Structure 1
Amino acid sequence: MTYNIAILGASGYTGAELIRLIAGHSAMKIAALGANSKAGQSIAQVFPHLRHLDLPQLLQIEEIDFANIDLCFCALPHKTSQEVIAALPATLKIVDLSADFRLRDPAEYKKWYGNDHAAVAQQKEAVYGLTEFYRKEISAARLVAGTGCNAATGQFILRPLITAGVIDLDEIILDMKCAVSGAGRSLKENLLHAELSEGYHAYSIGGTHRHLGEFDQEFSALAGRPVRVQFTPHLIPANRGILATTYVKGDAQAIHATLVQAYADEPFIIVLPFGEAPSTRHIRGSNFCHIGVVGDRTEGRALVIGALDNLTKGSSGQALQNANLMLDIEETEGLMMAPLFP
């Protein structure tokens, strides 16, 4: 069986990544592409690297007929997505890539994003889209909220350790290096080549990054008490990738063994041999996440390092993984491509 797919926000980076992935999918056909700012254009005009694909013309979202669409990906900006999704057919399966449905509490959403939620009914039904930890819920869901790319990286590292109780919950430091594509495709002065290249800098310093809302929500639920990690992201002059260096208090060998056991049967999460650290160059363009554990020179402390591609495993690949579950397709379908190297 072939499922008809719509992608809203197809002219952005995550939209293009979805097109690239679905082009190699045996059970999905892209039947509609929405991109209001580029409506009327072809994919070849917007993304020349996709010109070899036979794809429909980009449309205004209002022009799309959803009657024959089986599942819709929403790769729209924050705040826009909730309004669009509220107006879509109530029976349509949706995977949202924005931040609009990640936080379960409307008050928490307003705290981190600064505005009241415009689709509270849909927010209540949304399932958090961290695939490896919410498979059952995702399989039965109508609306899945994709995680933030930073939030996914940190959770792959820390969730098993919090559950197993092998680290001190009050001493967790997350230091992330994030590629520029995570900021989206819109023109921004600080993302110009002359502003970004030949250096990198910290941003959203001192606990202001919005993905902290996801960490607070998920880690506190796991621990059964408040967990507040210290998190600083850094923007690096690279197109793709996130490298998260996590500093924790706990026995390094026990931490490694916990992660090995937790991910033993996971197709996309690879725990490296003890003492080996991952690199973004080894996961680029793939749906894999590599995790390494290294003992610190101070006894009882460890470094846990994770690497993933923010556009694939951190966003569009995760979205396709969730869509496979929602449509009862093999979870790995369309996602087993090897990383790009060099």
Structure 2
Amino acid sequence: MIIGVPKEIKNNESRVGMTPAGVFELVKNDHTVYVQAGAGEGSGFFDQDYQQVGATILDSIKEVYALSDMIVKVKEPIAEEYGLVREGQIVFTYFHFASSEALTKAMIASKSTCIAYETVEDEEGTLPLLTPMSEVAGRMAIQQGAKYLEKPAKGRGVLLGGVPGVAPGKVLVLGAGTVGIQAAKMAAGLGAHVTIVDVNMKRLRYVNDVMPSHVVTEFSNEFNIRKLIKTHDLIIGGVLLKGAKAPNLITRDMLNEMRPGTVIVDVAVDQGGCVETTKATTHEDPIYIIDDVVHYCVANMPGAVPYTSTVALTNVTLPYVLKLANMGWRSACNLDKSLAKGLNIVDGEVVYHEITRAFDWEPVLA
């Protein structure tokens, strides 16, 4: 199979879909790999690194799309790429279709086969291709939140860890999934007081068992959230519904109940956000302020640490890329039910229920 690795063109996205180590494995399995010139530079991988393991470097993104049977990337195609995706082509990447009707319609029109990293699901119900980026984003959420709590960034002027004689800052984490656990771990490590909420009591028991005593749990409901937002300095949105639009746990009117300079980091922005006032931002222009509440809603947070993120991503995607390349998507998905759950759009037809629910379209036929 011919696999193409284009350069990411989303704002400040420096990750790349495949490391040289991943390309080495594909070439070893007799596949052809085309890498766009400069695609890996942001992650610290250079054209000669790819050439040394057998890749062919192509000058333009158009060539990569035109010559490849399968495109392996990091982020969803943006508007400039819509017309490059071909009928019958496999596109393997993060799509987050439920948050973008325009992207969904464009991929339907392309009649390509879209396999989404974020909906590949293993037998335990975990999301193996989303997990490493959730780990990165969860940890980064505290770094960014701590920075934007500083007064020059319009935050409350609170040091999360506090100092002797001054109480530490308070962090509220919405969701006890991968993002929430990693965020809580980082915040606790800084010495902050952390409250993590979820509707899943098993997850809350797990948090209670593994976290230090200054990480406390509460059941997630509107009453508790309204109570907690009044006293917490940093709020992390880490709620995920597999393949679906995130629920709005914080509504616009709740902002008035927060103290001026409170910071919200909505990691769920890729899925529409779990805060009603969330709108996607970029690393170039990461924040905006509504009702004196600072919103950080960068849609590709791990793109700020591209070396770590690219290596972590290739570690988990490569086995699936090899299956798709070795067997073709139909055989691979028939044999691997985890991979089959990644199928979102096939030959112009939506095959993933949560996408149609997000846009109130006719349901997918079973």
Output the TM-score relative to the length of structure 1: 0.39
**Structure having the larger proportion of residues in strand:** 1
User: By percentage of residues, which structure has more helix?
Assistant: 2
Task: Give 1 or 2 for the bigger CA radius of gyration.
Answer: 2
